[in-house]
A and B are shown apart, each in its own frame.
Chain A
Amino acid sequence: MRRRTLLLSGLGAAGALVVGWGLLPPRSRLGSVDTLPHVDGEVGLNGWIKITADGSVLLAMNRSEMGQGVHTALAMLVAEELDVSLARVRLIPAGYDRLYGNVAMFVASLPFQPSETEPGHETSLVKSAQWIVAKVAGELGINATGGSSSVADAWDVLRLAAATARAQLLGAASLLWKQPASELKVSDGVVSHASGSSAHYGELVKNAVATPSGTVRLKEASEWKLIGTAAPRIDVAAKTNGSAQFGIDVRPEGLLYAAIRHCPMIGGGPGAVDTSAAAKMPGVVRVVRVGPYAGSTEALAVVGRTWWHAEQGAAELVVAWQQRPAGGLDSRAIEGALERTAKDAAASDGGFVFHSRGDVAAAEAKAAHRVEQVYRAPYLAHATMEPINCTAKVEGGKVEVWVPTQVPGLARAIAAEVAGVPLDAVTVHVTYLGGGFGRRLDVDAVGQAVRIALECGGRPVQLVWSREEDLAHDFYRPAGVAVMRAGLDAEGLPVSLRITSAGDAITPRWMERDIPLLAGPVDMPDKTTSEGLFDQPYGIANQRIASVATRSGVPIGFWRSVGHSHNAFFNESFIDELAHEAKRDPVAYRLALLGDAPRHRAVLLLAAQRAGWPGYGPAQPLAAGRARGVALHESFGSIVVEVVEASIEGGKPRVHRVVCAADVGTVVNPGIVAQQMESAVVFGLSAALYSRIDIEGGVVKQTNFPNYPVVRLADSPVIETHLVASTASPGGVGEVGTPPLAPALANALFALTGKRLRELPLVV
């Protein structure tokens, strides 16, 4: 408890800088009729919803669409409560008001065990920590799309905003027609009464502004017409005809283009520079020196009349690049150091203890059998399909930025800082994101683009990184090592579990480069280092789950599913090892440990049945040379089990089928959930089979897709998604399918070959 108390006092100190906190019930985030900008023909009812003269609903969209379907899901919440079709909802930018911040994401970042946060059973410690963080997040209004939190964050707020607007619109009709509101009906935004009166929302909204909502009631689940249906996504048409606009597609008048060359050594910079050859290249406008912004490595940018001309110019730069003062980073040395750190900590009860229960030492001493293994995971790049880019224009003390970002408020802050203008002189336009995966929670390219734009005499400039620059200068998923130790009883069931992991803490590194205001001199314990380990569901009486937060110097960031991305591999492979030691079926073994976890049991049983796991439902014989593996993992409030069917072809693993079962709480759109499971499986499969970033002498060795391969269509398995019906509040969807894939595949390969693979990527 002592460390927990420290943690909370840290949060309190950060929070004490902020005055005037209010509690954050959904009502406090509704905003007012003046929150959204005034536009003729549109009437705002609150900070989220406007109604147009023709009866369309405008929804202030505060989340970035990067493929996860959030624009559709949030529009569905509003359409449901307003009783309009999805087609009647149009999206408008949300702006920067604090009410658009992501409270759920910050609350979820607290390092608490699920057993401590069960609604209605929270400890006072948990409650006070959630309260403080919610208030800090609310006050800062950090508008972020990440942590699979968008629907959870919007769930109460958007439905209440829409239901309140509906109540006001019906109230207006009631007063106008002198009929009780309870007798009014709404069909696709048209309000009517049996007496014959009828008007659409656009005709009622002016009166509705001044009409009190009265008591607002959200629909019961049984009344939903849209929530829970596989409604078609609202962005699909534009994404099949080339008209969807990504960051790289904006074309403001007079646009110039910029290519960039970072110092190849991470953290280094330019020494002597000769730009004469580059400047003479056709179509080149100028060369700009670009300092470090929000964690980026120093660089030179070449501005040209097309990006190709700029890139041709960049190839002619002559630069004596200099190593960073601390020397060149070496991933092999770092991974070796991580392993020593984890082993030393395991041997000495070291590391920050994220979870402790029972008496591990005593249980280990009494155990009939002990198993200890070391697991490893490498650095990984995001490799979003849309290369890193940002378009900026600086003119007359105003800055305009177009950027595919997950954090528009942070983009605005760095643009203002670099241009030396107040925040309100900056406008950020968020485009569609050609993939995010956490990479676009960083705003390095925004700082760079504004810096370059300052040199372009008021003309807009579009900075685009080549794929080579992207892979060489990412904020990587950190490498990690875990020492896993279990004591088994005579039946082979674990009586103790001791996990000691080592790896860099992501959140403090991200905070110091992206929200320096909040970064303290001392790192607070970062849940990302141990998530998926300390909060695992298995009923093991004695546990010590600890992690050593290292500082390896490699720029690291959030990568789809964050700490779960490797911790699930460690944990679920190890549980499989224990099942094997116990000579028990992997599904039966897990079920035996999930006696107190009914939701997890249900998901595991569903997956086993649908996959044809022997002994669970109708048998599905496997083709010769194939085997199955299973893994279960909870992350971002959702539970996912995957059963992988694999074989070895040409000496390499081949995945044929993945059966995915999930409990994601209340499902807003099962079609999008299935899409995201498929997406997460393929993303996880690339990492499991191929991905690693190696750094030598400060230089990343991987340069482009030919040597940073990813799964292609021919390698892609059949993926089936099955959902457990749930009335719990919505959990995450976008990331939760990635963590179980690697261990399920490793477990299948073990079943196939008898060889246990304890390092990613998986090489047979």
Chain B
Amino acid sequence: MEIVVNGAAHTLGDELAAPQMPLLWALRELLGLTGTKFGCGVAACGACTVHVEGRAVRSCVTPLESVRGKRITTIEALGSAARPHALQRAWVVHQVPQCGYCQSGMLMAAAALLASNAAPSDADIDAAITNICRCGTYPRVRAAIHAAALELRDGKAA
């Protein structure tokens, strides 16, 4: 099976990459992209959030066959060391992560939100970021999303 992850095409051996295998396990265990996390297996916590064609999806319930040939982006390619995403910079400025385990999913959910809504309100953020964080980073997640949105808007204006 062919999938396109972070701009690179990968051929997964049919022996292991069954059509119904969730994308999460293919990313983590067949491709070694461990930034995307397992948290609940039932799409309830969002730790496994990735982008498929730019939209946030929960990869723990996304069968491989549904993403064949589609553009998948994981936390590893949200930004780069040289050019981090505005959200990643805001995450550092606001010192968002604690244990850090849910943060890949948080960032991917937030990035998908900003891609479709350049100036999200608090209510928009409430609705879009339904990821679970047991460390309680929520207030900082909210603040960092607003900050990144502002930075991205300013960048466009300039």
Complex CA distance for A69 and B92, rounded to whole angstroms: 14
Partner of A712, one of B16, B84, B97, B138: B138
Interface residues on A, range: 35 or more
**Nearest-Cβ distance from residue A195 to partner chain B, whole angstroms:** 41
B98 engages A713 (CB within 8 Å): no
Q: A257-B29, A434-B100 are in contact. Are A711 and B136 (CB under 8 A)?
A: yes
B42 engages A706 (CB within 8 Å): yes
Q: Chain A residues near B131 (CB, 8 Å)?
A: 712-713
A385 engages B35 (CB within 8 Å): no
Complex CA distance for A705 and B132, rounded to whole angstroms: 9
In the complex, residue of chain A having the shortest beta-carbon distance to the beta carbon of B138:
A716
Q: Chain B residues near A716 (CB, 8 Å)?
A: 136, 138-139, 142
Partner of B30, one of A306, A385, A466, A683: A306
B101 engages A435 (CB within 8 Å): yes
Q: Which of B15, B29, B47, B102 has the most CB of A within 10 A?
A: B29
A251 engages B34 (CB within 8 Å): yes
Q: A683-B134, A714-B126 are in contact. Are A66 and B99 (CB under 8 A)?
A: yes
Q: A712-B130, A714-B127 are in contact. Are A237 and B92 (CB under 8 A)?
A: yes
Partner of A713, one of B22, B39, B104, B130: B130
B76 engages A232 (CB within 8 Å): no
Partner-contacting stretch, out of A240-248, A265-273, A472-480, A580-588: A240-248
B140 engages A386 (CB within 8 Å): no
A47-70 contacts to B (CB < 8 Å): 65-69
A679 engages B97 (CB within 8 Å): no
Interface residues on B, range: 35 or more
In the complex, residue of chain A having the shortest beta-carbon distance to the beta carbon of B90:
A240
Complex CA distance for A467 and B75, rounded to whole angstroms: 23
**Is A403 engaged at the interface, CB distance under 8 Å to the other chain?**
no
B21 engages A248 (CB within 8 Å): no
Partner of A242, one of B42, B45, B76, B99: B76
B95-134 contacts to A (CB < 8 Å): 95-104, 107, 125-127, 129-134
Query: Contact mask A373-386 → B, CB, 8 Å, 1/0?
Result: 00000000001111
Q: A239-B103, A305-B16, A706-B44 are in contact. Are A713 and B95 (CB under 8 A)?
A: no
**Is B18 engaged at the interface, CB distance under 8 Å to the other chain?**
yes
**Nearest-Cβ distance from residue B36 to partner chain A, whole angstroms:** 7
A671 engages B95 (CB within 8 Å): yes
Query: Contact mask A227-262 → B, CB, 8 Å, 1/0?
Result: 000001101111111111110110100000100000
**Is A354 engaged at the interface, CB distance under 8 Å to the other chain?**
no
Complex CA distance for A437 and B101, rounded to whole angstroms: 14
B39 engages A236 (CB within 8 Å): no
Q: Chain A residues near B134 (CB, 8 Å)?
A: 383-385, 435, 437, 683, 686, 710
**Nearest-Cβ distance from residue A4 to partner chain B, whole angstroms:** 38
B37 engages A386 (CB within 8 Å): yes
Query: Contact mask A458-495 → B, CB, 8 Å, 1/0?
Result: 00000010111000000000000000000000000000
A306 engages B16 (CB within 8 Å): yes
Q: Which of B37, B38, B125 has the most CB of A within 10 A?
A: B38
B16 engages A283 (CB within 8 Å): yes
A385 engages B44 (CB within 8 Å): no
Partner of B92, one of A65, A232, A305, A383: A232
Complex CA distance for A717 and B126, rounded to whole angstroms: 12
A361-395 contacts to B (CB < 8 Å): 383-387
**Nearest-Cβ distance from residue A496 to partner chain B, whole angstroms:** 38
Q: Which of B35, B74, B133 has the most CB of A within 10 A?
A: B133
A307 engages B25 (CB within 8 Å): yes
A680-717 contacts to B (CB < 8 Å): 680-683, 686, 704-706, 710-714, 716-717
**Is A432 engaged at the interface, CB distance under 8 Å to the other chain?**
yes
Complex CA distance for A385 and B137, rounded to whole angstroms: 13
Q: Chain B residues near A113 (CB, 8 Å)?
A: none
Partner of B132, one of A239, A309, A385: A385
A282 engages B140 (CB within 8 Å): no
Q: Chain B residues near A307 (CB, 8 Å)?
A: 25, 29, 38
A-B contacts counted at CB < 8 A amount to 184
**Is A546 engaged at the interface, CB distance under 8 Å to the other chain?**
no
Q: A235-B97, A386-B101 are in contact. Are A241 and B92 (CB under 8 A)?
A: no
B99 engages A67 (CB within 8 Å): yes
**Is B78 engaged at the interface, CB distance under 8 Å to the other chain?**
yes
**Is A592 engaged at the interface, CB distance under 8 Å to the other chain?**
no
Query: Contact mask A508-527 → B, CB, 8 Å, 1/0?
Result: 00000000000000000000
Q: Chain B residues near A282 (CB, 8 Å)?
A: 15-16, 18
**Is A719 engaged at the interface, CB distance under 8 Å to the other chain?**
yes
Q: Chain B residues near A717 (CB, 8 Å)?
A: 139
A435 engages B135 (CB within 8 Å): yes
Q: Chain B residues near A749 (CB, 8 Å)?
A: none
A432 engages B16 (CB within 8 Å): no
Q: Chain B residues near A79 (CB, 8 Å)?
A: none
**Is B69 engaged at the interface, CB distance under 8 Å to the other chain?**
no
A240 engages B29 (CB within 8 Å): no
Q: Chain B residues near A248 (CB, 8 Å)?
A: 34, 37-38
In the complex, residue of chain B having the shortest beta-carbon distance to the beta carbon of A683:
B136
B100 engages A235 (CB within 8 Å): yes
**Is B40 engaged at the interface, CB distance under 8 Å to the other chain?**
yes
Q: Chain B residues near A432 (CB, 8 Å)?
A: 99-100
Q: Chain B residues near A466 (CB, 8 Å)?
A: 41
**Nearest-Cβ distance from residue A530 to partner chain B, whole angstroms:** 27
B132 engages A710 (CB within 8 Å): yes
In the complex, residue of chain B having the shortest beta-carbon distance to the beta carbon of A720:
B139
Partner of B76, one of A241, A257, A435, A718: A241
Q: Chain B residues near A434 (CB, 8 Å)?
A: 37, 99-102
Query: Contact mask A183-200 → B, CB, 8 Å, 1/0?
Result: 000000000000000000
A236 engages B138 (CB within 8 Å): no
**Nearest-Cβ distance from residue A175 to partner chain B, whole angstroms:** 42
**Is B32 engaged at the interface, CB distance under 8 Å to the other chain?**
yes
B137 engages A679 (CB within 8 Å): yes
Partner of A308, one of B25, B47, B130, B136: B25
**Is A678 engaged at the interface, CB distance under 8 Å to the other chain?**
yes
B141 engages A713 (CB within 8 Å): yes
Complex CA distance for A416 and B141, rounded to whole angstroms: 42
Complex CA distance for A713 and B22, rounded to whole angstroms: 26
B95 engages A232 (CB within 8 Å): yes
Complex CA distance for A328 and B26, rounded to whole angstroms: 39
**Is A211 engaged at the interface, CB distance under 8 Å to the other chain?**
no
**Is A433 engaged at the interface, CB distance under 8 Å to the other chain?**
yes
Q: Which of B18, B74, B95 has the most CB of A within 10 A?
A: B95
**Is B19 engaged at the interface, CB distance under 8 Å to the other chain?**
no
B39 engages A233 (CB within 8 Å): no
Complex CA distance for A543 and B41, rounded to whole angstroms: 50
A682 engages B136 (CB within 8 Å): yes
Q: Chain B residues near A671 (CB, 8 Å)?
A: 95
B79 engages A241 (CB within 8 Å): yes
What are 14 contact pairs spanning A and B, CB under 8 A? Answer: A235-B100, A239-B97, A239-B103, A241-B35, A241-B78, A242-B36, A244-B100, A248-B37, A385-B45, A466-B41, A678-B139, A682-B138, A686-B134, A716-B138
The 4 A-B residue pairs with the shortest CB-CB distance in the complex, in nearest-first order: A242-B35, A682-B136, A434-B101, A239-B100
Given A240-B84, A240-B88, 20 more pairs with CB closer than 8 A: A67-B98, A240-B91, A243-B35, A305-B16, A308-B29, A385-B45, A386-B101, A387-B39, A432-B99, A434-B102, A466-B41, A671-B95, A682-B135, A704-B40, A710-B132, A711-B138, A712-B132, A713-B125, A714-B126, A716-B138
